[in-house]
């Protein structure tokens, strides 16, 4: 661009525009305020406001006869939640499923990411990464549906296991864990791959030259350096599993997770206050989890 | 660290198995869309293209695709504006509560979808109903935009960090006002990040079912909702299979686009 005179810029700036520009240029605080205004209105007023309102609803109750919400403060929902044997079982089961899925994802993702980032020929690495990430774009429901077909009585799995005299798990809790692991696996591979790729090969060589064996290098050099990446990946696998109720509905048989309790209380039972109280369980679990993970610096890895 | 030959081979075999685990179900769905047997047992008794012809005239599926496209476009547009604004504020300024702001952007996606769903659904009922706005496409867009902001934010933030402020300062020194600097300097540099983030946001919205369930009115059926309601109806199974197969085949498109975009970004 040779003629960067003001005339090359479109039109003569209106004086209002020029005044606004001058104000923005001179006052960074005004700039910051304008930048933050709309997003904060959305995220704080609308989103946090909605979350807070939901929390408030949890302390109300539903009239069993009229189905109307009674807006008087009560601890009843939380008492029911705490004393109800069923709810405790389901809450613990949900956390166990989320933790199990996270561990399984890590066990599958780490060797794959390690091969992709450090062992495979550099020329192949981008293609391997694409191969792992492409299924992320395929629809969630389609993937769960695929497993419903595979796990069916006359499905692929039973057909493949038949000659070995074994049978697949059918629909149930095992199927739920398996499908959730399948769904969230790429979310674990990607951050670990990125973390490993950033880890200089020279560190691994140095560790080897100094006499450390493979396992020791993995434990003392690789693990501490990719730990934030693992934590970042686990945030996805854990959170996404904890709130899931769709997968459970499709392949979970009669099993229930906490999401199903919330869903059923809104839909069939029409008891929003109790549903809100149940929904605070995953929120509290996640907030604790985020707080723990934040110390590792994992949030910068997202 | 030197891996033995055996360890390398084992890792390679493990990765191959992992990729098979990832792809076998997807191939199965595509294959099943040609399965002549209505119950889709394995192995297929024969192949047919009848279901594809059948699915193409399915009015419900077509409408659902259209609704999903509208919701995705709306949510992406809102998220592009809001995400870019927050990214600028967090990257270019130091202020009290900056960490909280970045945490707040991540929160809608970090919390389980059902929480975001019932919180927003409930708030819409309470706040918008008295104003005469019922649940509908609008509320779906608002819900989706809330968790899409983070994808734009992350992409723009990373880009701003790498860009530095030198070019913008140069632009100001040469007499451009803040609007001109944004339009002629910052925005063109940000474009690849906006496209990548927008693509991701659109995909997130297109695929979302949980928040949609609680924020969509009775007349609004996005594609995931349509699939879910037809999943348990045996006579709709062939059409669901075809729609699923199409979605799998189409998922290559954003990958290809993203690949081209990142190529463009590194070429600059």
Q: Which of A53, A137, A272 sits opposite B255 (nearest CB)?
A: A137
Burial class, B233, CB count within 10 angstroms (exposed 0-12 / middle 13-18 / buried 19+): exposed
Q: Do B26 and A146 touch (CB under 8 A)?
A: yes
What percent of chain B shows pLDDT beyond 70?
Answer: 96
Domain boundaries, chain A: 14-48, 81-301
Q: What is the CA radius of gyration of chain B?
A: 23
- pLDDT tens readout for residues B47-61: 777 788 887 888 888
Interface contacts (A, B; CB < 8 Å): 258
Through-space distance between the first and last CA atoms of chain B, rounded to whole angstroms = 36
Task: Tell me what the mean pLDDT of segment B190-202 comes to.
Answer: 91
Measured between CA atoms, the residue of chain B closest to residue A219 is B1
CB A242, CB A94: distance < 8 Å: yes
pLDDT band at A158 (very low <50, low <70, confident <90, very high): confident
Task: Give me the pLDDT at residue A1, please.
Answer: 42
Tokens linked to B109: 């996606």
Compare B82 and B107 and report the one with higher pLDDT.
B82
pLDDT band at A5 (very low <50, low <70, confident <90, very high): very low
Which are the contacts of A143, defined by CB distance < 8 A and separation ≥ 6?
Answer: A135, A179, A182, A183, B25, B26
Q: Which of B247, B225, B246, B236 has its CA nearest to residue B40?
A: B236
Decide if pLDDT at B102 tops 80: yes
Q: Which of B219, B78, B227, B222 has its CA nearest to residue B135?
A: B219
Torsion region of B175: left, alpha or beta (phi above 0 gives left; psi -120 to 50 gives alpha): left
| DSSP for A204-262, written as a single string | HHHHHHTT--HHHHIIIIIHHHHHHHHHHHHHHHHHHHHT--HHHHHHSTT---HHHHH
Strand partners, A62: A69
Q: Do B86 and A35 touch (CB under 8 A)?
A: yes
Block residue for tokens 């989706």: B144
Lowest mean pLDDT among A11-20, A69-78, A97-106, B150-159: A11-20
Mean pLDDT over the full length of chain B = 87
Task: Tell me what the mean pLDDT of segment A79-106 comes to.
Answer: 92
Decide if pLDDT at B266 tops 60: no
Decide if pLDDT at A4 tops 50: no
Q: Do B7 and A43 touch (CB under 8 A)?
A: no
Task: Give me the pLDDT at residue B268, please.
Answer: 42
pLDDT band at A8 (very low <50, low <70, confident <90, very high): very low
pLDDT band at B267 (very low <50, low <70, confident <90, very high): very low
Task: Give me the pLDDT at residue A144, please.
Answer: 93
d(CA A276, CA A63): 15
Q: Do B29 and A185 touch (CB under 8 A)?
A: no
pLDDT band at B260 (very low <50, low <70, confident <90, very high): confident
Decide if pLDDT at A39 tops 80: yes
Task: Give me the pLDDT at residue A102, please.
Answer: 96
Pairing label, strands A61-62, A69-70: antiparallel
Note the CATH number of domain A81-301: 1.10.3720.10
Task: Give me the pLDDT at residue A16, please.
Answer: 83
What torsion do the CA atoms of A286, A288, A290, A292 make, to the nearest 10 degrees?
-150
pLDDT band at A6 (very low <50, low <70, confident <90, very high): very low
Q: Which of B114, B73, B251 has its CA nearest to residue A142?
A: B251
CB A233, CB A165: distance < 8 Å: no
Which domains, ranges and CATH numbers included, belong to chain B?
18-267 (1.10.3720.10)
Task: Tell me what the mean pLDDT of segment A238-248 comes to.
Answer: 90
Task: Give me the pLDDT at residue A179, please.
Answer: 96
Decide if pLDDT at B255 tops 90: no
Task: Tell me what the mean pLDDT of segment B152-177 comes to.
Answer: 90
- ipTM passes above 0.90: no
What percent of chain A shows pLDDT beyond 70?
Answer: 93
pLDDT band at A173 (very low <50, low <70, confident <90, very high): very high
Task: Tell me what the mean pLDDT of segment B178-189 comes to.
Answer: 91
Q: Which of B147, B155, B79, B148 has its CA nearest to residue B111?
A: B147
- Candidates A146, A190, A211, A292: best to mutate against B (most CBs of B within 10 A) is A146
pLDDT band at A302 (very low <50, low <70, confident <90, very high): low
Q: Is the peptide bond before A10 cis (omega within 30 degrees of 0)?
A: no
Decide if pLDDT at A9 tops 70: no
Task: Tell me what the mean pLDDT of segment A44-67 comes to.
Answer: 85
Q: Do A119 and B119 touch (CB under 8 A)?
A: no
Tokens linked to B253: 């498109």
Give me the residues of B, 163-222, that contact A with CB < 8 A: 172, 174-180, 203, 206-207, 209-210, 214
- Candidates A2, A129, A134, A163: best to mutate against B (most CBs of B within 10 A) is A134
d(CA A236, CA A148): 23
Block residue for tokens 């069916």: A152
Measured between CA atoms, the residue of chain B closest to residue A215 is B1
**Using a CB-CB distance cutoff of 8 angstroms, which residues of chain A are in contact with residue B41?**
152, 154-155
Quote the minimal CA–CA distance from A54 to chain B in Å: 5
Compare B122 and A189 and report the one with higher pLDDT.
A189
Give me the residues of B, 37-56, that contact A with CB < 8 A: 39-43
Decide if pLDDT at A291 tops 90: no
Task: Tell me what the mean pLDDT of segment A144-172 comes to.
Answer: 85
């Amino acid at each position: 661009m040779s003629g960067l005179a003001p005339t090359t810029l479109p039109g003569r700036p209106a004086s209002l525009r020029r005044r606004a520009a001058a104000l923005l240029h001179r006052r960074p605080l005004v700039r910051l305020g304008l930048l933050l205004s709309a997003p904060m209105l959305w995220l704080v007023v609308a989103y946090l406001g909605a979350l807070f309102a939901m929390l408030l609803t949890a302390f109300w109750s539903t009239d069993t006869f009229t189905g109307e919400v009674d807006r008087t403060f009560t601890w009843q929902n939380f008492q029911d939640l705490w004393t109800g044997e069923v709810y405790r079982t389901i809450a613990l089961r949900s956390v166990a499923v989320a933790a199990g899925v996270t561990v399984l994802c890590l066990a599958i993702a780490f060797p794959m990411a390690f091969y992709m980032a450090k062992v495979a020929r550099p020329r192949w690495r981008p293609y391997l990464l694409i191969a792992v990430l492409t299924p992320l774009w395929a629809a969630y429901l389609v993937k769960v549906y695929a497993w419903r077909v595979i796990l069916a009585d006359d499905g692929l799995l039973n057909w493949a296991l038949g000659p070995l005299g074994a049978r697949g798990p059918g629909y149930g809790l095992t199927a739920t864990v398996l499908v959730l692991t399948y769904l969230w696996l790429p979310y674990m591979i990607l951050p670990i791959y990125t973390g490993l790729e950033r880890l200089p090969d020279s560190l691994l060589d140095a560790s080897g030259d100094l006499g450390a064996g493979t396992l020791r290098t993995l434990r003392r050099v690789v693990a501490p350096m990719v730990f934030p990446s693992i934590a970042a990946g686990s945030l996805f696998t854990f959170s996404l599993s904890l709130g899931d109720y769709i997968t459970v509905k499709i392949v979970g048989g009669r099993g229930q997770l906490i999401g199903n309790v919330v869903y059923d209380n809104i839909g069939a039972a029409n008891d929003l206050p109790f549903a809100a109280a149940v929904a605070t369980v995953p929120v509290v679990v996640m907030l604790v989890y985020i707080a723990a993970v934040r110390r590792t610096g994992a949030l910068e890895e997202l | 660290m030197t891996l033995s030959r055996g360890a390398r081979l084992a890792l390679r075999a493990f990765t191959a198995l992992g990729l098979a685990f990832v792809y076998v179900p997807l191939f199965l769905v595509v294959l099943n869309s040609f399965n002549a047997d209505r119950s889709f047992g394995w192995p297929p008794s024969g192949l047919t293209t009848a279901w594809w012809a059948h699915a193409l005239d399915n009015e419900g599926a077509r409408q659902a695709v259209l609704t999903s496209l509208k919701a995705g476009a709306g949510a992406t547009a809102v998220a592009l504006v809001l995400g870019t604004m927050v990214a600028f504020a967090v990257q270019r300024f130091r202020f009290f509560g900056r960490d909280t702001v970045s945490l707040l952007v991540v929160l809608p996606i970090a919390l389980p979808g059902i929480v975001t769903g019932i919180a927003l659904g409930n708030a819409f009922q309470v706040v918008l109903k008295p104003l005469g706005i019922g649940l509908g496409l609008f509320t779906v867009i608002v819900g989706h935009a809330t968790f899409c902001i983070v994808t734009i934010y992350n992409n723009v933030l990373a880009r701003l960090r790498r860009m530095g402020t030198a070019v913008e300062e140069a632009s100001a020194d040469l007499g451009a006002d803040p609007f001109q600097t944004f339009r002629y300097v910052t925005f063109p540099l940000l474009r690849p990040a906006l496209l990548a983030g927008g693509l991701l946001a659109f995909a997130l919205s297109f695929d979302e079912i949980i928040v949609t369930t609680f924020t969509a009115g009775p007349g609004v059926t996005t594609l995931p909702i349509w699939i879910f309601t037809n999943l348990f109806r045996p006579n709709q199974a062939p059409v669901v299979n075809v729609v699923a197969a199409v979605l799998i085949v189409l998922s290559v498109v954003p990958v290809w686009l993203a690949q081209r975009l990142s190529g463009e970004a590194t070429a600059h």
